[in-house]
Amino acid sequence: MTDNTVIPVKPDLAAGSRFDAARRAEMAERAARDPDGFWREEAGRIAWMTTPTRIKNASFEGDVSIKWFEDGVLNASVSCLDKHLAERGDQVAIIWEGDDPNSDSKVTYRELHQRVCRMANALRSLGVKKGDRVTLYLPMIVEAAVAMLACARIGAVHSIVFGGFSPDSLASRIQDCDSTVLITADQGRRGGRTVPLKTNADEALKSCPSVKNVIVVRNTGGDVPMQEGRDHWWHTLSEAAATDCAPEPMNAEDPLFILYTSGSTGKPKGVLHTTGGYMVWASFTHELVFDYRPGEIYWCTADVGWVTGHSYIVYGPLANGATTLMFEGVPNYPDVGRFWQVVDKHKVNIFYTAPTAIRALMREGDAPVRKWSRQSLRVLGSVGEPINPEAWLWYYRVVGDERCPIVDTWWQTETGGILISPLPGAVDLKPGSATLPLPGVQPALVDGDGKLLEGATEGNLVILDSWPGQMRTVYKDHERFIQTYFSTFPGKYFSGDGARRDADGYYWITGRVDDVLNVSGHRMGTAEIESALVAHPKVAEAAVVGMPHELKGQGIYCYVTLKSGEEPSDALKKELVAWVRREIGPIASPDAIQWAPSLPKTRSGKIMRRILRKIAANETDSLGDTSTLADPTVVEDLISNRAG
Ligand code: WT7
């Protein structure tokens, strides 16, 4: 595979798309020349109560201030619901496909509007008002989308915590933003098993005094204790509430949601997105990148607990009046053909998933895919981590029958939506490359000193100027926002990723250059896993690094130093794995643990992670300079006792 493997745009796609190469070029040119004019026009894609006259007002210097459409007034739920009632009230807004292949349901825009209004009124009846935070800890059920939009309707700020996170992780995310309400379910379902959401929530709430009310969806019907005065059944509240609810007028820069994400330090950051710019970006990117056409069935397999679910299951598709499919299950249940069975069942046109799922399914061979027709598919997408060319080509040839373009979409929780991606009808593809920036996006590569690099090169991926969907701050910690994203390369947004740019200007994302891991598309700070490990009574010190992993992209490799007097054993390894799963959640399960009598440190006491990464990757013949180590013999020991 070389940079020169090019798969040209299919002529029929280009002909049928609103965004062909000429249009894309024209948009990119206009967005660069006249950003205010361009984004003023694009703002028209969503519904405003007061049309903005001030468009862009952003500076990456000094205190960093990012504002878009700042005198505009709107409500995000109106763009997702009310706006569509006249034209497509009876069109299906959400297709829900259960974990069990025999359970599904459909909700029209009109029904969704009513359900959202009821829950919005219910929240108001509990005293929730504009600006209050509401935490959602839900499975992939329609109520998750309803709860998000209900919060938006009354101006409450939702904070979704992925249902796979532990009680501790849930508690710290509730505490950080002082939520007054938690919305959860009795249990979730995944791969034929149940997830004890309410039990976890009860555990978490022991340390969350801010939460006065808990709303519980009866989902599986599992027996769960309800606390008198605090816990309310969702259906009881909904049934008592009216089906219309006046949307709260929100300034474009009023918060829409907080979503916690991992960085290089221990504590997850509350990424804050506001209303106007985020909605414009979600709608704009969903339409361009997927070449979305009215009437199409669109399926993003993410969970609403991640930003992909926010922007590309709920806000983007609904703002565009699409039919969005919400899937409760997993790719391999009841069997590894599940994705394609669902594609055929619901005649899915656009399918968006993660490389880790593609790699896992690729390993099962072509037969489970070929068994299904997949004729409805038109565009395929990938997100969350670099996709290796081999997996890309399998996705292209086997899943898409060489008919469907693949959009490899690079973005982050912080960016609100896609920044670098091909447009199906406009950009020639290269397997493994996210290709080119979207109109209005200005990526660049810089060296370690922040010097801009030109032409074909490799470096740190930065963005030079603001785009509407950008995060505005870290919740309650603007200093950390500046520190994390704008201090490494002053005046530029630093993504934390490295990338290569080829002679055609195509970007090839190489992965994180900071202490953040990407495990099966899930982002995790090594510091979080380390602090979970050292919280164990027998652990003195821990260092966590990523290691190459065939399916997960990266695996979690832990070096653990025990307290003196503690004996290493396989039983203790198992105990530590279970411990980390319980502290953070199953997504943080260590893949390898190595006992480290001591860790390689510089004379000033800093752990040399570069060396630990090399040992974990079994690249011990290229350790680099070890002369600055306080005790170089430590490395020999670690090499000879490598785990796995
Ligand atoms: C990190 C962001 C984007 C929504 C899901 C993850 C990696 C994401 C790609 C891609 C290579 C990618 C980056 C990024 N990443 N998409 N197409 N190619 N890497 O959001 O949890 O905020 O993680 O995911 O490393 O920084 P997130």
CA-nearest residue for atom 1, ligand 1, is: 412
Q: What whole-number distance in Å separates Cα of residue 513 and Cα of residue 461?
A: 10
Distance (Å, whole) CA 134 – CA 210: 11
- Which of 509, 519, 528 has the most ligand 1 atoms within 8 A of CB, as the residue to mutate? 509
* Binding residue numbers for CoA: 190-193, 308, 332, 520, 581
Considering the chain, what is the average pLDDT of its residues? Answer: 97
pLDDT for the residue 107? 98
Residue 429 phi/psi, 5-degree rounding, is: -100, 150
At 362, the pLDDT band (50, 70, 90 cuts) reads very high
Quick one: DSSP state of residue 600? -
- Structure tokens belonging to residue 566: 């503690």
Residues in the ligand 1 pocket, defined by CB under 6 Å = 261, 306-308, 383-386, 408-413, 434, 495-497, 509, 511-512, 518, 523
Parallel, antiparallel or unpaired: strands 56-59 and 65-68: antiparallel
- Go through 489-506 and write b for each residue having 16 or more CB atoms within 10 A of its CB, e for each that does not: beebbbbbbbbbbbeeeb
Task: Kindly give the distance from the C-alpha atom of residue 260 to the centroid of ligand 1, in angstroms, as a whole number.
Answer: 15
Q: Specify the pLDDT at position 426.
A: 98
Q: For residue 525, what are the contacts with CB-CB under 8 A and spacing of at least 6?
A: 262, 263, 264, 265, 266, 268, 515, 516, 517
**Model ipTM over 0.95:** yes
Residue 3: per-residue pLDDT: 61
Residue 209, pLDDT score:
98
Report pLDDT for 624.
Answer: 84
Contacts of 387 (CB under 8 A, 6+ apart): 355, 358, 395, 408, 432
Compute the distance from residue 315 Cα to the ligand 1 centre, in Å. Answer: 19
Percent of the chain residues topping a pLDDT of 90: 95
Which pLDDT does position 626 carry in this prediction? Answer: 84
What pLDDT is stored for residue 628 in this prediction? 85
Q: So what's the pLDDT on residue 506?
A: 98
Return the HEC string of 97-113. ECCCCCCEEEEEHHHHH
Examine the pLDDT at 349 and tell me if it is beyond 90.
Answer: yes
Q: What is the DSSP string of 380-410?
A: EEEESSPPPHHHHHHIIIIISTTTS-EEEEB
SS3 string, 622-635, reads: HCCCCCCECCCHHH
**Does residue 1 register a pLDDT over 70?**
no
Q: Is the pLDDT of residue 500 over 70?
A: yes
CA distance 427 to 456: 19
Per-residue confidence (pLDDT) for residue 644, from 0 to 100: 75
Which residues are registered as beta bridge partners of 22? none
Residue numbering of the annotated binding site: 190-193, 308, 332, 384-386, 408-413, 497, 512, 520, 523, 534, 536, 539, 581
pTM attached to this predicted model: 0.97
State how far the Cα of 353 lies from the Cα of 521, in Å rounded to an integer: 10
Q: What is the pLDDT of residues 303-316, one digit of tens each?
A: 999 999 999 999 99
Residue 393 has pLDDT above 60, yes or no: yes
| Vertex 147 angle, CA 124 and 220, to 5° | 120
pLDDT at 294: 97
- Nearest atom (ligand 1) to Cα of 409: 17
**412 C-alpha vs ligand 1 centroid, how far in Å?**
5
* Whether the predicted pLDDT of 274 surpasses 80: yes
Percent of the chain with pLDDT strictly greater than 70: 100
Q: Residue 225: exposed, middle, or buried by beta-carbon count in 10 A (0-12, 13-18, 19+)?
A: exposed
pLDDT-derived band at 265, boundaries 50, 70, 90? confident
Domains of the chain, earliest start first? 11-500 (3.40.50.12780), 520-641 (3.30.300.30)
Scan for tokens 């249902």, then name that residue: 163
Rounded to the nearest angstrom, the distance between the alpha carbon of 232 and the centre of ligand 1 is: 37
The arithmetic mean of pLDDT across residues 243-256, rounded, is 98
* 227, pLDDT greater than 90: yes
Distance (Å, whole) CA 418 – CA 10: 22
**pLDDT of res. 523:** 94
Say if residue 2's pLDDT is above 80: no
Q: Is the pLDDT of residue 4 over 80?
A: no
For the segment 495-510, the average pLDDT, to the nearest whole number, is 98
C-beta of residue 244 within 8 angstroms of C-beta of residue 7: no
CB of 277 within 8 A of CB of 415?
A: no
Residue 294 burial (C-beta neighbours within 10 Å; 0-12, 13-18, 19+): exposed
The confidence band for 622, taking pLDDT boundaries of 50, 70 and 90, is confident
Ligand 1 atom at shortest distance from the alpha carbon of 495: 26
